[in-house]
């Protein structure tokens, strides 16, 4: 298995995001949207319950997802953007507070496995003809790559990812020669 890649092209990313939406498989669509818009690890995504994203008492979606990251043990708070909110609305239906966001089809009290999440991501990548090794971690890396391309400072991404070193964040960004070529061509002194 090679290094996990971010999805770099905008057109490819749109195709990938919409793969399950077009098939009306909303849980799988939400998994992709959640991963792309939160930069969370798949282990943290899969443990989310509806009560983490929806306030049942006040009957409204939460503005932030608050959780303690499994790997780092650090508390993190993620703003729910428009794309994620819309995907959540599509999926909620008759869910209860303790139901998992990404539950098995047969039992809302059981989350899908990491391997099932991987198969969902791989099937979408293959269905869209994406090259390279695309996995659950690609969603996290894709967030960082596109944030960096839109001008988010790497130090901010390091903080979002809870990385202990800048070197790890640099590797996540998936910066390639064409990205460096663009900088050299743009800075034409």
Catalytic residue numbers, as ranges: 41, 71, 137, 140, 163, 172
Per-residue buried b or exposed e for 124-136, using 16+ beta carbons within 10 Å of the residue's own CB: bbeebebeeebbb
The three-class DSSP label of residue 124 is helix
* Cα radius of gyration (the chain): 17
Closest to 52 in 3D by CA, of 27, 34, 73: 34
Q: Is 136 within 8 Å of 117 (Cβ atoms)? A: yes
Q: Is 31 within 8 Å of 117 (Cβ atoms)? A: yes
Name residues whose C-beta falls within 8 Å of residue 134's C-beta, 6 or more positions apart in sequence: 4, 5, 7, 121, 122, 125
């Amino acid at each position: 298995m090679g290094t996990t890649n971010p999805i770099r092209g905008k057109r490819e990313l749109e195709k990938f995001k919409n793969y399950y939406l077009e098939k009306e498989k909303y849980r799988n669509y939400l998994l992709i949207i959640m991963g792309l818009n939160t930069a969370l690890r798949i282990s943290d995504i899969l443990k989310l319950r509806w009560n983490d994203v929806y306030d049942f008492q006040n009957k409204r979606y939460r503005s932030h997802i608050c959780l303690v990251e499994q790997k780092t043990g650090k508390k993190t708070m993620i703003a729910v953007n428009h794309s994620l909110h819309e995907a959540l609305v599509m999926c909620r239906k008759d869910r209860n507070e303790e139901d998992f966001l990404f539950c098995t089809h047969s039992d809302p009290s059981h989350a899908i496995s990491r391997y099932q999440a991987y198969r969902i991501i791989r099937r979408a990548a293959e269905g869209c003809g994406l090259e390279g090794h695309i996995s659950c971690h690609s969603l996290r890396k894709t967030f960082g790559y596109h944030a960096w391309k839109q001008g988010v400072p790497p130090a901010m991404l390091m903080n979002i990812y809870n990385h202990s070193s800048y070197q790890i964040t640099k590797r996540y960004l998936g910066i390639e020669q064409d990205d460096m070529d663009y900088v050299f061509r743009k800075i034409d002194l």
